[in-house]
Amino acid sequence: MGTLKIELLGTSFSIKASEDDDYLKKLLGYYKNIVDEIQKSGMLKSELHISILAGIMLCDELYKEKSKSAVSQKPSPSNEKAEKLASEMIKKLDQVLKA
């Protein structure tokens, strides 16, 4: 179980999580990089708005990764063709063995 002290966007608090300290620090560092990018752009000044936009950007990144994963797990046309051929061969073998 890890503990992480967060000091960001004008606030400070600590959390406990089931992950180890190093992992939590990496997550916070990644989040801070996104927040820094938003702050540097000058688009938003409110800390609340910055944190919300950072959360949305992370959700977008996660959603795109999950979508890529789902697409890569779908059988490709060549895989479907191979499965169909294998299924037909099994049926023929069953017919021959039953005869």
Of the given ranges (5-9, 33-37, 39-43, 90-94), which has the lowest mean pLDDT? 90-94
DSSP, collapsed to helix, strand or coil, labels residue 99 as: coil
Cα distance between residue 10 and residue 1, in whole Å: 26
- How does residue 75 score in pLDDT terms, banded at 50, 70 and 90? low
Give the 3-state secondary structure percentages of the chain, helix then strand then coil, rounded to 5.
70, 15, 15
Q: What's the pLDDT at 91?
A: 76
Tens digit of each residue's pLDDT (9 = 90 or more) over 19-66 = 999 999 999 999 999 999 999 999 899 999 999 999 999 999 999 998
